[in-house]
Amino acid sequence: MTGDNGVTTCTLRLVEDVLPPSAQPVYLPAAERAIYVVEGDVTVEQPDGCQHQRADGAWLGGAPVALLAGSTGARLWRWELVAAGGEGDGLLRSAPGSSSALKLKADLEFDRRQDWLMRCDRVEFPKGGVALTHVHQGPGIRCCLYGEIRIDTEGRSGTFPAGHAWLERGYEPVLAPTTEREETAFIRCFILPRACKSRSSIRYVRPEDAAVPKTQRYHVFGERFITLGA
């Protein structure tokens, strides 16, 4: 949805899909999306080729796709950026034996003067690790893979164990401590200015925190330039 204030509103959603072993293909229409394989493996077919992904791998693209689960099935986290107010909710409805559930969705505003990219990555913490108070250059939805993380922002606090998702708008400062009981990791898909390509988007709010050794580790699965509302 495009407004007259120089802003485009899009919906970012995270859906969890569970595909049974060696099931018939699941077809998805074109959308700017990232698919992370939580368990099992999947082949992503698109008009100009295909790509096989095992657990802890991710695929990014914008074309219509067919998903083919491997011999043990697959559990997927699927992020999609679509036009706000568009038809459909992204859930699988014509795939017998498969299931899907909406974990989180949010309407987000983007400056049309900016060009954007989608990035999918994994962030890992040791026991008791913390991301010091920071902002990002764009919004995104995260989902805890294992462990537990607390998100403190704008006077609000929420705790997210494995399988739970949350939104960060980017411009709202976040302090993110993790549990002392075990290591923690989350998977993130967020939308950034194209100038952030291959660069970290994090900015620390307090100047003294920028020089402190950081406990978190990052692995970028991929990023690609996108068209808003496509």
Half-sphere CA count of 14, side-chain side, radius 13 A: 21
SS3 content of the chain, % helix, strand, coil (to 5): 5, 60, 35
**Chain Cα centroid distance, residue 37:** 12
Identify which of 173, 171, 137 has the alpha carbon closest to the alpha carbon of residue 153.
173
Angle at 6 between CA 104 and CA 197, to 5 degrees: 60
pLDDT interval class at 179 (50, 70, 90): very high
Say which residue, 194 or 92, is predicted with more confidence.
Answer: 194
Q: Name the percent of the chain lying above pLDDT 70.
A: 97
- Dist CA 20 CA 116 (whole Å): 35
Answer whether residue 1 shows pLDDT above 80: no
Token pair recorded at residue 219: 């692995």
Q: Which residue in the block uniquely carries the two structure tokens 């494995």?
A: 162
**pLDDT recorded at residue 2:** 59
What domains lie within the chain, and their CATH numbers?
A: 7-111 (2.60.120.10), 116-226 (2.60.120.10)
The Cα–Cα gap between 160 and 178 comes to: 9
Q: What integer pLDDT is reported at residue 3 of this predicted model?
A: 57
Q: What is the mean pLDDT of the chain?
A: 94
Q: Could you tell me the pTM of the whole model?
A: 0.95
The predicted-structure confidence for 116-138, as pLDDT tens digits, reads as follows: 999 999 999 999 999 999 999 99
Confidence of residue 23 (pLDDT cuts 50, 70, 90): confident
Comparing C-alpha atoms, which of 224, 177, 221, 176 is closest to residue 61? 224
